[in-house]
Structure 1
Amino acid sequence: MTDASRIEFDRQTERLVELGLPALAGISEEDLRALVAPLADRLPEPSVPREGHAPFVIVLTRELVDPCAAVPLLRLMGARGLGSKPGIVDRNHGEGDLATYHPLEELGVPEAKAYLLVDVERGEEFCDVRPEDALPVIRGRGRTPLTIDEGIALVMQAPHLLEKNKCFMLSGSRRSDRRVPALWISENAPKLGWCWDGNPHTWLGVASAGQRRH
């Protein structure tokens, strides 16, 4: 672990505290810090900065925080203060809302309250590609699509990655139908909505990561 990685890890930890995640989780600030602290031993080496990429993100799972409660904490890059618009959950997810989405079993998502998502890309190369066609390409590269929890964590820590015409699908979370959850911008606010697996969108890529570490 390098100093740069540790500085970023500490920044992400403090951002979770500042945004009020301990209260949403029903734990103290000290307990949240203690929960994520062991992940510092799993940090990756720094990589060359590039557009649409984050070296790692601390993920708090729905076992700890309800994603419906976390989405309103999201803001667009540059949005500050009480006048900024909170993230919203599309009301058209249907019966059960976000609770009906689960990680694809083959992803091996850790059964943990917190873990690291490493080598994250928002995947704009898959804009205008059907999600069902993008997923085999991502898997063929040894990468993994993001889940809803991971997408929320990414925008929470790196809001600059959600921008106009470069939004992304979260193909790692699915339900019994062909809906694919996605994060995009609506009325100047982050929005967690969904699209059909067989429909391409010019402004939606498919986000992926290299590893999950816990």
Structure 2
Amino acid sequence: MAEASMTSTEDRRALVFLQRWSHDPLFLRNDFTTCLIAENLSDLNQRLVQSPWVVEIELKRPQSAERRSFVDWYLEGRTDAFTRHASVSVDQMMQNSAGLNLIQLRTILADVLENRIELTYEVLSELKKEMIEEAAYGLLEFVETDYTLDMVAGHREAKQHLRDAARALRNNRPDVMPMGYLVSGPVGTGKTFLITCFAGEIGIPMV
């Protein structure tokens, strides 16, 4: 429901009805609520979004506990079948599925259970990359690399620290990981190359 100049007659009529319903005394008196679902607020007409009678409710992507609850429910009675076709444990899958919604998780699980897809760490990373790219409509670009930290000359302490971080990620130990890294230094000292190699080392797509 874009701006009026870009909408059809039916869309403009729907906008009028929605605005009327939002403050219709009959609806207000009977505690009647109209719900409009959209992927993004920018997809809606701003007159509707900015109306004082409209309240925005954000449905956030599922957090780790919600994803785990869903996966436990989906795998109930089928955990052995999942284990036979996955070298990634459920705990590792939870750690590396941040940003995915429940439908995307179900797609991955169904591929393993129904299509007998072998779910490895690399396959999971590739599936997550593809799903996020599709959801972002091409607005995100992932850097794919086969480089590893073995290709970095020098920076011995930095490489060891990043290798320890990669090992912690693979062993599902987020508790020993920092929230992020600030890589500073003069131009031409290899900062981008170092992080590109780190991304290849852990197998996680880098934006």
**Normalization by structure 1: what TM-score?**
0.26
Higher strand share: 1
Larger radius of gyration: 2
Higher helix fraction: Structure 1 or Structure 2? Answer: 2
Report the TM-score, using the length of structure 2 for normalisation.
0.26
RCO (CA 8 Å, sep 6+): is it higher in 1 or 2? 1
